[in-house]
């Protein structure tokens, strides 16, 4: 389709996109740009508006306000079938009356592509469903159906491919395999992928850019490493990986660093990593950034040090050992240590000091819930 | 579970279980089977014997069984044109019903929103009065001085001396009217089941609304089309009320002939063989139709 080729080289832009269902705001004033050919992941908890956002891009939902553009073309009100956009639906939405082959060939045939047969066979091979072409969707397993849905959208080589949790039903091994496959295809055919997922690991390994969404707004957007190392809200800090959030008071600044009082102990954090502007703030440190040492042995002036910790829990994970350390003010902090074998591990009751580099910590506004975005253990993949 | 090979005892228990379940299945079939035996099978057998009685007998003197197969030949030579007319009328009525009901059922299933149930009640509302009364009302509607005839004459669709009543048009219109709910309801049922997300997916895959309807919605509604056409065509083939009340003997269908053979002439062998022929032909047509509908070339 000429239209497709012309649009393939353009960015996807959402401008102040809003969707209301009655009084409920599902997507709230969303603005973002997905550069052409990039892999963009939309990450967020259930019900935060991910599917609704994709549906507006696909033309299946009318925005209450705002615009959707591909390049300079405003497609906000273009009918779905005229958009150079294809979707892998969360519910698969395979056509039950058509064979797997016909399902995958559907888009090509509607556009009158001549050699659709060969292309369809190739696509079936790609999603490892070669021998299943004659079956009906009901005769496939959930994971196989999901791969049909993927093939049915991919085969059209659209300008923008929307993937709504396309790997959710696959087992871990197949999922890793499909992740690599997806990433390979995406680089190969230069399609813009907008990938919705619950799985933060999936988002971080695959995406060039991640947007973390919560309650219809984007909390933070950026490269995976930036998001992880320098989260700007407690939600992002907890939703992507795990964080220790410690209550502190800002007492001043000195030489590009913010000086903090933490229950009587003095700490510092790089000013560039501060996203707080009140008197009190949450100091965030990732567990693997903390170094625990036997109490009173090391005195590092270049590091943030918290003294008075006592190990209350030791779990050996294999590559690492995870400690819980109770601090004098009652909070338990997580500390992950690589099992390099260079020193014996701590035991319950050991007295320890905790330290980390000031430019590994981040500072967040104190008026946020320290537990926002935290997943219960059973939700983790 | 241990890895030991299953001992014979539990296997026997499993067998007992499944056979008991199968037994229950049969038990549930019993009332329906009995009903069919009493009200369908026995009368049909009776009809079969009646159709082979000697035609020289009469209502007053009784009949003798002479296995008179010629009854069938006589019935066909006598009334083959009525058969042709019946299937033609019923076929046309079924097609018109489908053409009228499909958009109606589609609108109720997809567009009616909260009016859905109300509209469905309207569809079956005619059943609240008797079939006979409603057909009689159509006599008035289609009568020579009636509003429809004069309107059609005014707009010159019908010549000034043209009429509707006592024409094939009236009979077919009556059939359409009377059997339309039997078409609309199964159509509605299968359209209502169509998953909207599939229609969205078709749109996402470059199908215009029309292409999406052709490739997705319509094929998925085929079960409703098949059962609706059967529920309309089969009873319409045997109908005689519409031809009697809205037509003249020139529009009579097989049903009229069977009715008069049974009730007026008391020619039971003729009536019985006509009934059985009608039944056999309809069964053959239905089987062929279902076979064809089961394959994709109906799409
Ligand atoms: N048609 C609708 N009418 C009313 N509310 C809706 C409708 N569609 C979605 N919502 C609401 O909008 C919110 C966002 O829904 P959405 O499907 O976008 O979530 P999601 O982020 O995709 O969640 P999940 O990860 O569970 O798929 C939800 O609270 C949902 O209940
Ligand atoms: Mg969703």
Q: C-alpha distances in angstroms, A311 versus A84, A243, B91? A: 57, 18, 87
Question: What backbone phi and psi angles, to 5 degrees, belong to B281?
Answer: -65, -45
Tell me what pLDDT residue A375 has.
Answer: 66
Tell me what pLDDT residue A68 has.
Answer: 93
Tell me what pLDDT residue A376 has.
Answer: 52
Q: Whose CA is nearest to atom 7 of ligand 1?
A: A21
Measured between CA atoms, the residue of chain B closest to residue A149 is B201
Q: Which of B146, B274, B91, B206 is nearest to A157 (CA)?
A: B206
Question: What is the position in ligand 1's atom list of the atom closest to the CA of A52?
Answer: 18
The CATH code for residues A2-229 is 3.40.50.300
Which residues 6+ apart lie within 8 Å of A363 measured at CB? A248, A258, A260, A269, A273, A274, A275, A276, A281, A282, A283, A284
**Is residue A316 within 6 Å of ligand 1 at its C-beta?**
no
Tell me what pLDDT residue B118 has.
Answer: 95
| Whole-angstrom distance, CA of residue B80 vs CA of residue B93 | 20
Residues A311 and A324: beta-carbon distance below 8 Å: yes
Which pTM value belongs to this model?
0.81
Q: C-alpha distances in angstroms, B89 versus A65, B253, B283? A: 56, 9, 17
* Cross-chain residue pair A93–B216, CB shorter than 8 Å: no
Residues A233 and A364: beta-carbon distance below 8 Å: yes
CB of A97 within 8 Å of a chain B CB? The answer is: yes
Environment class of B34 (CB within 10 Å of its CB; exposed 0-12, middle 13-18, buried 19+): exposed
Residues A34 and A11: beta-carbon distance below 8 Å: yes
Q: In the block, which residue shows the tokens 């939700």?
A: A379
The more confidently predicted of residues A376 and B213 is B213
Q: C-alpha distances in angstroms, A293 versus A288, A299, A338, A341, B207? A: 14, 10, 14, 15, 65
Q: Which of B190, B101, B33, B83 is nearest to A96 (CA)?
A: B190
Gap from CA of A213 to ligand 1 centroid (Å): 13
H helix runs in A230-324, sequence order: 234-239
Gap from CA of B45 to ligand 1 centroid (Å): 62
| Whole-angstrom distance, CA of residue A88 vs CA of residue B44 | 56
**Is residue A156 within 6 Å of ligand 1 at its C-beta?**
no
Q: If chain A, 381 residues long, is cut into consecutive pieces of 10 residues, what is the mean pLDDT of each piece?
A: 49 92 92 90 90 93 92 90 91 93 94 92 89 92 87 90 86 84 81 89 90 92 93 92 91 86 89 85 93 84 87 92 92 92 88 91 86 62 40
Distance of alpha carbon B151 from the chain centroid: 32
H helix runs in chain A, sequence order: 2-8, 50-58, 100-110, 116-126, 142-154, 172-189, 200-206, 224-229, 234-239
**b/e A128-160 (16+ beta carbons within 10 angstroms → b):** ebeebbeebbeebeeebbbbbbbbbbbbbbbbb
**Is residue A234 within 6 Å of ligand 1 at its C-beta?**
no
Per-domain residue ranges of chain A: 2-229, 242-367
* Domains of chain B in sequence order: 74-298 (1.10.3720.10)
H helix runs in A264-332, sequence order: none
The SS3 of residue A298 is coil
| Whole-angstrom distance, CA of residue B124 vs CA of residue A296 | 88
**b/e B91-124 (16+ beta carbons within 10 angstroms → b):** bbbbebbbeebbebbbebbeeeeeebeebbeebe
Measured between CA atoms, the residue of chain B closest to residue A81 is B206
Which residues 6+ apart lie within 8 Å of A172 measured at CB? none
* Each residue's pLDDT tens digit, B140-198: 999 988 888 889 988 988 888 888 888 999 999 999 999 999 999 999 999 999 999 99
- The angle, 0 to 180 degrees and rounded to 10, between the axes of the packed helices B70-106 and B218-238 is 140
Q: How many CB atoms lie within 10 A of CB B214?
A: 14
Residues A177 and A23: beta-carbon distance below 8 Å: no
Measured between CA atoms, the residue of chain A closest to residue B216 is A95
The pLDDT of B79-85, averaged and rounded, is 92
Residues 144-173 of A with CB under 8 A from B: 152-153, 156
Q: Whose CA is nearest to atom 25 of ligand 1?
A: A46
Q: In the block, which residue shows the tokens 């592509």?
A: A113
Using the predicted structure, report yes or no on whether residue B41 has a pLDDT greater than 50: yes
Question: What is the position in ligand 1's atom list of the atom closest to the CA of A54?
Answer: 18
Confidence class for position B12, pLDDT limits 50, 70, 90: very low
Which residues 6+ apart lie within 8 Å of A229 measured at CB? A286, A360, A362
Tell me what pLDDT residue A189 has.
Answer: 76
* Cross-chain residue pair B205–A60, CB shorter than 8 Å: no
In CATH terms, A242-367 corresponds, of 2.40.50.140, 1.10.150.120, 2.30.30.40, 3.50.50.60, to: 2.40.50.140
Query: What radius of gyration, in Å, describes the C-alpha atoms of chain A?
Result: 25
pLDDT above 90 covers a percentage of chain B that reads 61
Residues B220 and B194: beta-carbon distance below 8 Å: yes
* Cross-chain residue pair B206–A59, CB shorter than 8 Å: no
| Whole-angstrom distance, CA of residue B287 vs CA of residue B281 | 10
Gap from CA of A27 to ligand 2 centroid (Å): 12
Would you state the structure tokens that stand for residue A344, as one six-digit string? 């014996």
The more confidently predicted of residues B85 and A381 is B85
Tell me what pLDDT residue A37 has.
Answer: 87
Tell me what pLDDT residue A118 has.
Answer: 93
- The DSSP code sequence of B178-203 is HHHHHHHHHHHHHHHHS-HHHHHHHH
Q: Which helix (H) or strand (E) holds B100?
A: helix B70-106
- The angle, 0 to 180 degrees and rounded to 10, between the axes of the packed helices A100-110 and A116-126 is 130
* Each residue's pLDDT tens digit, B242-282: 999 999 899 999 999 999 998 988 889 999 999 999 999 99
Among B204, B217, B225, most A C-beta atoms within 10 A, so best to mutate, is B204
| Whole-angstrom distance, CA of residue A258 vs CA of residue A279 | 12
Q: How many CB atoms lie within 10 A of CB A95?
A: 23
Confidence class for position B298, pLDDT limits 50, 70, 90: very low
Would you state the structure tokens that stand for residue B30, as one six-digit string? 């019993």
Q: Which of A196, A188, A148, A160 is nearest to A47 (CA)?
A: A196
Q: In CATH terms, are A2-229 and A242-367 the same topology?
A: no
Nearest to B197 among A91, A152, A153 (CB): A91
Tell me what pLDDT residue A378 has.
Answer: 44
Which residues 6+ apart lie within 8 Å of B116 measured at CB? B108, B109
CB of A81 within 8 Å of a chain B CB? The answer is: yes
Would you state the structure tokens that stand for residue A299, as one six-digit string? 């005195």
Gap from CA of A59 to ligand 2 centroid (Å): 16
Measured between CA atoms, the residue of chain A closest to residue B294 is A97
* Cross-chain residue pair B200–A85, CB shorter than 8 Å: no
* Each residue's pLDDT tens digit, B224-239: 999 999 999 999 999 9
Residues in chain B: 299
* Each residue's pLDDT tens digit, B97-122: 999 999 999 999 999 889 999 999 99
């Amino acid at each position: 389709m000429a239209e497709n080729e012309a649009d393939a080289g353009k960015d996807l832009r959402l401008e102040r996109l809003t969707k209301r269902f009655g009084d409920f705001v599902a997507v709230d004033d969303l603005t973002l740009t997905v550069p052409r050919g990039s892999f963009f992941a939309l990450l967020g908890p259930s019900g935060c508006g991910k599917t609704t956002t994709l549906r507006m891009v696909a033309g299946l939902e009318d925005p209450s306000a705002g615009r959707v553009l591909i390049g300079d073309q405003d497609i906000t009100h273009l009918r779905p079938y005229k958009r150079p956009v294809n979707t892998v639906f969360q519910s698969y939405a395979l056509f039950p009356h058509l064979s797997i082959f016909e399902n995958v060939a559907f888009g090509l045939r509607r556009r009158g592509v001549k050699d659709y047969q060969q292309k369809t066979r190739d696509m079936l091979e790609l999603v490892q469903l070669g021998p299943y072409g004659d079956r009906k969707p009901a005769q496939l397993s959930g994971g196989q159906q999901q791969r049909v849905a993927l093939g049915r959208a991919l085969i059209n080589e659209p300008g923008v491919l929307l993937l709504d949790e396309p790997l959710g039903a696959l087992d871990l091994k197949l999922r890793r395999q499909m992740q690599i496959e997806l990433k390979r295809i995406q680089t190969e055919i230069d399609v813009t992928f907008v990938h919705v997922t619950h799985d933060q690991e999936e988002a971080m390994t695959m995406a060039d850019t991640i947007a973390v969404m919560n309650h219809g707004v984007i909390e933070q957007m950026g490269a995976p490493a930036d998001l992880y190392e320098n989260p700007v809200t407690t939600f992002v800090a907890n939703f992507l990986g795990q964080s220790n959030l410690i209550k502190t008071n800002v007492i001043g600044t000195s030489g590009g660093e913010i000086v903090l009082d933490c229950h009587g102990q003095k700490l510092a954090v790089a000013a560039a990593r501060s996203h707080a502007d009140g008197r009190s703030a949450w100091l965030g440190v990732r567990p693997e950034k903390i170094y625990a040492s036997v109490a009173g042995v090391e005195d590092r002036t270049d590091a943030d040090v918290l003294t008075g910790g006592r190990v209350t829990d030791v779990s050996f994970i294999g590559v690492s050992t995870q400690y819980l350390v109770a601090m004098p003010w009652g909070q338990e902090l997580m500390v992950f240590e690589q099992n390099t074998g260079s020193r014996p591990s701590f035991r319950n009751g050991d007295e320890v000091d905790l330290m980390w580099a000031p430019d590994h910590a981040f500072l967040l506004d104190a008026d946020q819930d320290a537990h926002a975005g935290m997943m219960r253990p059973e939700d983790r993949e | 579970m241990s890895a030991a090979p299953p001992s014979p005892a539990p296997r026997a228990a499993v067998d007992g279980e499944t056979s008991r379940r199968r037994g229950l299945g049969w038990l549930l079939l019993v009332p329906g089977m009995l009903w069919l035996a009493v009200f369908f099978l026995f009368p049909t057998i009776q009809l079969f014997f009646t159709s082979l009685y000697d035609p020289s007998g009469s209502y007053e003197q009784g009949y003798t069984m002479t296995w008179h197969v010629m009854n069938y030949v006589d019935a066909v030579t006598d009334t083959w044109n009525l058969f042709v007319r019946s299937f033609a009328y019923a076929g046309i009525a079924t097609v018109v019903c489908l053409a009228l009901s499909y958009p109606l059922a589609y609108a109720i299933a997809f567009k009616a929103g909260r009016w859905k149930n109300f509209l469905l009640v309207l569809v079956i509302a005619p059943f609240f009065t008797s079939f006979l009364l409603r057909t009689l009302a159509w006599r008035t509607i289609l009568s020579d001085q009636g509003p429809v005839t004069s309107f059609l004459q005014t707009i010159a669709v019908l010549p000034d001396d043209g009429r509707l009543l006592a024409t094939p048009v009236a009979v077919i219109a009556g059939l359409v009217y009377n059997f339309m709910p039997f078409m609309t309801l199964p159509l509605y049922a299968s359209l209502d089941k169509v998953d909207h997300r599939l229609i969205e997916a078709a749109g996402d895959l470059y199908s215009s609304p029309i292409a999406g309807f052709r490739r997705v919605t319509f094929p998925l509604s085929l079960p409703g089309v098949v059962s609706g056409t059967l529920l309309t065509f089969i009873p319409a083939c045997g109908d005689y009320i519409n031809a009697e009340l809205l037509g003249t003997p020139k529009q009579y269908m097989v049903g009229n002939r069977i009715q008069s053979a049974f009730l007026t002439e008391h020619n039971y062998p003729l009536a019985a063989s006509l009934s059985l022929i009608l039944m056999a032909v309809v069964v053959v047509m239905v089987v062929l139709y279902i076979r064809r509908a089961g394959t994709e070339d109906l799409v």
